[in-house]
Amino acid sequence: MSALVFSFEAFRASARPSVGNRSSNPIAMLSFEERRARNIADNFYPTPPEATRALLSVEAFDGPIWEPACGEGHIAHVLAEAGLDVIATDLNDRGYGTVGVDFLAQSAMRGKHIVTNPPYGNGLADLFIEKSMEFARETGGKVAMLLNLNSLCHRSRTTWWRSHPPARIYAIDSVVCWSEPDRAPPRHFAANRYYWAVWTPDHVGPSSFWWLSAAEFREPVVTDFQSSLSNPRSFPCQTVQTLLPSLPSPSPSKPLSFAWLRQLSA
């Protein structure tokens, strides 16, 4: 099938420093192999929590979720915080979940849904998507994958997308999946943009498309409503209607946000 993610050689080309900038960029001074070892060891690119919170603001999951590339638990932890049942596994040991589990070699589904940021390179994301869709057809569950936005627009992938359209696509801005908090990501890497692709077994026809803002989800969900009223700066801008049963609901066509409550408590 057509690749859904850039090949390793394409990544290598994109990582090559621009002429004239090498001496001013310490990362560019490293050889490609050194940058490869530092930047993509085991394809570990942790998902910032706001990306998963954004997904949960628009998608509901009615059963256990398998996170098959859990890493240090960045996605699984947010799902569990939301009260969802999560099965977290990974091939590599990063101190979270059940380790030593090769997702692509599994023969049995471990949940109803799959939510993950799959490993990239050498067609791994392609294989994760196909395997996940096979499992989801058995359980009637959803598959939600965080993918690089470039994967939607490459000419070698058009045929595949037409044959396997997600039910919904959510572009999400300003998300950086970077694994080294002690240093900033390279400029070319920070420029990457991502989207959630959500497949459902019963979907037929074109995909729907919507935009999500990561900035609206960078704070945890408010759980103590009374203390939040006394501190309006603690309000996150995200859908939390279940926290406000005593307050009037907005129009059904618009999600409930804490933004208007800031004015009430000012």
Q: Write out pLDDT tens, residues 52-75.
A: 999 999 999 999 999 999 999 999
Q: Are 221 and 227 in contact (CB under 8 A)?
A: no
d(CA 102, CA 51): 25
Q: Tens digits of per-residue pLDDT, 195-252?
A: 999 999 999 999 999 999 999 998 654 555 444 444 443 434 333 333 334 434 444 4
The domain ranges of the chain are 8-215, 219-264
Taking alpha carbons only, the member of 71, 68, 73 closest to residue 110 is 68
Please compute the mean of the pLDDT values over residues 78-90 and round it to a whole number: 97
- Single out the residue of 14, 44, 12 nearest to residue 124, CA to CA: 44
Burial annotation 207-235 (CB, 10 A radius, 16+ → b, else e):
eeeeebebebbbbebbeeeeebeeeeeeb
pLDDT at 153 over 80: yes
Report the CATH architecture of 8-215.
Answer: 3-Layer(aba) Sandwich (3.40)
Q: Would the pLDDT of 25 be above 80?
A: no
Do 43 and 121 meet the contact criterion of CB atoms below 8 Å apart? yes
The CA distance from 62 to 2, in Å, is 32
